[in-house]
A and B are shown apart, each in its own frame.
Chain A
Amino acid sequence: MAPFTETSGSDDGFHAPTIGEFFPDAIFFEGTPFELNRIMMIRLLILTVLVVLFWLWTGSFKKAYKTGQVVPTRFQLMGEISLNFVRTSIAHEQLGKKDGDRFLPLLTTIFFVVLGMNITGIIPALNIAGTSVIGLPLVLAVAAYVTFIYAGMKKHGFGFFKNSLFPAGVPAPFYILVTPIEFLSTFILRPVTLALRLMMNMIAGHLLLVLCFSATHFFFTSTQVEGAMRLFGAGTFLFGFAFTLFEILVAFLQAYVFTLLTTVYIQLAMADEH
């Protein structure tokens, strides 16, 4: 890292990625609550892509049950596999069939929003994840938070808070210690970690990729680099390539983790005893 920072700042030199990348200049409606910058437009693009894609899949589902065609087409099967991943592997597995289906709309939305927004981080010309700015992870985390509290309240009434804050089987004096910890972990840390885990993963991924490719650019083009030093560029490029593949994995993994944790929180809230 030392050689990179040395040259940082100079025009011809190495441009280190900055946090400013996550706050690009406004393109439309600057200064209003509807300000649109690059990242917000990427989000709207992904929104459109998801709506179009699932609209087509919905069309093939509709056609299938209206014509009584029970053997899915190839395209329809892809949609079924995608939706079934959330439905059976996450929702039904953790919550059972009945409750799994109850919370399926939220879980499906979370999974595909997170996946879609994460994957833009490695799509050429977009190159930044829609989830790398706190707003979206925060909104999703709040949705998860509200939902698991709703699930608990619906099942146990205010007994849910009692169950959560005063776990059964603990001697009364220990509640002085246990209750604040439980409160912190259940009602504060859960949503915060959900949002931060996702955002930080995406920020780190983006910074890593920018670092690698900007170093490649620097080594290959800068006048400050001479002779065999340019070969470092090949190395940084390979790193960038490897991290791009890794980011695909991270995109899926974070979508899965976010959805799974939301499901587990709902499941814990509805559990009879802690």
Chain B
Amino acid sequence: MTPLILAAETATEVAKNPLIPEVYDLVWSSVVFFILLAFFWFMVLPNFKKTLDARTEAIEGRLAEAERIQAEVATKTADIAKAQENSRAEASAIREQARAEGVTILAELKEQASLEAARITATAKQQIEAERQAALVSLRAEVGLLAIDLASAVVGASLSNDKVAGKVVDDFLSELEAGDKAGKQK
């Protein structure tokens, strides 16, 4: 390239050295440089930094928030598990209690039933006894009348046959006695 540049330089009327800056070159270079330096320094980069900081903050904030929520959820889960455990225990206690109560109630009912049964039996017995007594009393009264009837019948018959009449009375009395004995034995 060098011979070419040299050849070119000799060709141009005013050969310029590219290493020596012109005044205007330096002036405009400085203008460009300092305007952009100030622009980046005081305008672009501070705002850029703020944006990045805001983002970092937001990300960190969100991470902290997520962590907090996670901890909260863990606590809640533990609470729920505990509550579940509690209610399970409570339920089984209630079941146990109900079973015990059922047993008691059953026993009570059974006792009550047997008492009732005993009471009914006793009443029935009493009633039967009372009826028997009543029957006995009425029988006795009837026997008296029968005896009188019989006696009158016997008296009527004795007129014809003394022997037969005597036998009938004897039989009757023994029969009555036997019936009375049987009734008393009962």
Contact = CB atoms under 8 A, between A and B. Distances in A.
Nearest to B3: A5
Interface stretch (A129-137, A163-171, A224-232, A259-267): A129-137
A253 interface: no
B39 A51 contact: yes
A135 B8 contact: no
A204 B1 contact: yes
B185 interface: no
A65 B24 CA distance: 41
A19 B4 CA distance: 9
B58 A50 contact: no
Contact of A20 (B16, B47, B59): B16
B51 interface: yes
A94 B48 CA distance: 20
Contacts of A20: 8, 12, 16
A40 interface: yes
B159 interface: no
Interface in B18-58: 18-33, 35-37, 39-41, 43-45, 47-55, 58
Nearest to A204: B1
Contact of B36 (A5, A51, A65, A203): A51
A8 B3 CA distance: 13
Given A61-B47, A68-B58, A54 B32 contact: no
Nearest to A208: B1
Given A58-B43, A64-B51, A136 B36 contact: no
B11 interface: yes
A51 B36 CA distance: 7
B182 interface: no
Given A16-B4, A70-B58, A47 B11 contact: no
A80 interface: yes
Interface string A1-18: 100010011000000111
Contact of A36 (B4, B5, B28): B28
Nearest to B53: A65
Given A22-B18, A83-B48, A139-B33, A68 B54 contact: yes
B42 to A, nearest CB: 8
A19 B5 contact: yes
Interface residues of A, number: 62
Most chain A CB atoms below 10 A, which of B1, B4, B24, B58: B24
Interface in B116-142: none
Contact of A43 (B5, B20, B32): B32
Contacts, number: 156
Interface string A180-221: 000000000000000010010001100100000000000000
Given A34-B24, A109-B36, A18 B18 contact: no
Contact of A57 (B26, B35, B44): B44
Contacts of A242: none
Given A16-B4, A40-B25, A65 B54 contact: yes
B6 to A, nearest CB: 9
A2 B158 CA distance: 198
B50 A134 contact: no
Interface stretch (A100-108, A119-127, A148-156, A244-252): A100-108
Contacts of B29: 43, 135-136, 138-140
A145 interface: no
B37 A17 contact: no
Nearest to B54: A65
Interface string A79-120: 110010000000000000000010011101100110000000
B65 interface: no
- The 6 lowest CB-CB distance pairs between A and B, nearest first, are A135-B25, A18-B8, A105-B41, A35-B24, A135-B29, A136-B29
Given A130-B32, A133-B22, 13 more contacts: A8-B7, A18-B5, A23-B16, A37-B24, A54-B43, A58-B48, A64-B51, A64-B54, A65-B53, A72-B51, A105-B45, A108-B44, A136-B33
18 contacts: A1-B4, A18-B8, A22-B18, A36-B24, A40-B28, A57-B44, A58-B44, A61-B51, A62-B47, A64-B51, A65-B47, A68-B58, A109-B37, A109-B40, A112-B40, A136-B29, A140-B29, A143-B37
